[in-house]
Amino acid sequence: MSGAALSLRGIACLRGGRLLFTGLDLDLAAGASAQIAGPNGIGKSSLLRIVAGLLRPFDGTITRDGAVALTDELDALDRDRTVHDALAFWARIDEVPAARIAAALDDLRIGHLADIPVRMLSTGQRKRAALARTLITGAPIWLLDEPANGLDVETAAELGRLVDRHRAQGGIVLAASHLPLAWAQDVTLHLHSPQESAA
């Protein structure tokens, strides 16, 4: 992962005919972390989806050196499958070894839930299962949308340790959050609407 890099130049986001933000620049090298902050509706989640390649920017360019893995509120885990089988489905799609699943579940302290249907999980357990999917991908660039939502204090701290480990291995983390995160940030991006910037 030592060669991972992420660069944003002049990124602007237009959603529903409204310009949410414009002129955003960011450079993250291997081992770096940044937090996206700002009020509700400013485009934090949209920015992560732009970086992931799921939305097109209204303007600007993105350069990624390394694969990305996005964890957001849409966990995309089949509710009728067990946790293990739901993650195994994505392991096949992502073309990564299913053998990584057990370690990822143990890292997030839900190994005991591997054979439980996803629909039976609590909100926090489902968030941990979604985060396990990010670990399984082996992607060097993690995009985390409100990663602490639904997590108890102990689990949020454990996520912080996993992020620190990922960064120590040369990974990059870009997280959007209203809350303080359980790991140090190299950069904090405060998104502002163009109207506020002009005021």
- List, for residues 28-79, the tens digit of each pLDDT value: 999 999 999 888 888 899 999 999 999 999 999 999 999 999 998 877 899 9
Read off the pLDDT band of 198 (50, 70, 90). very low
Q: Phi-psi category of 35—alpha, beta or left, where left has phi over 0 and alpha has psi -120 to 50? A: beta
The reply to whether the predicted model has a pTM over 0.75 is: yes
Task: Give residue 199's pLDDT.
Answer: 45
Under 8 Å between Cβ of 60 and 10: yes
Under 8 Å CB-to-CB from 128, ≥6 apart: which residues? 108, 109, 110, 151, 155
Under 8 Å CB-to-CB from 180, ≥6 apart: which residues? none
Task: Give residue 39's pLDDT.
Answer: 81
Q: What is the mean pLDDT of residues 133-150?
A: 92
Three-state DSSP class for 14? strand
Least confident of 16-25, 82-91, 138-147: 16-25
More confident residue, 71 or 178: 71
List beta partners, residue 27.
7
Residue 194 has pLDDT above 90, yes or no: no
75, 79, 82, 87: CA torsion to nearest 10: -30
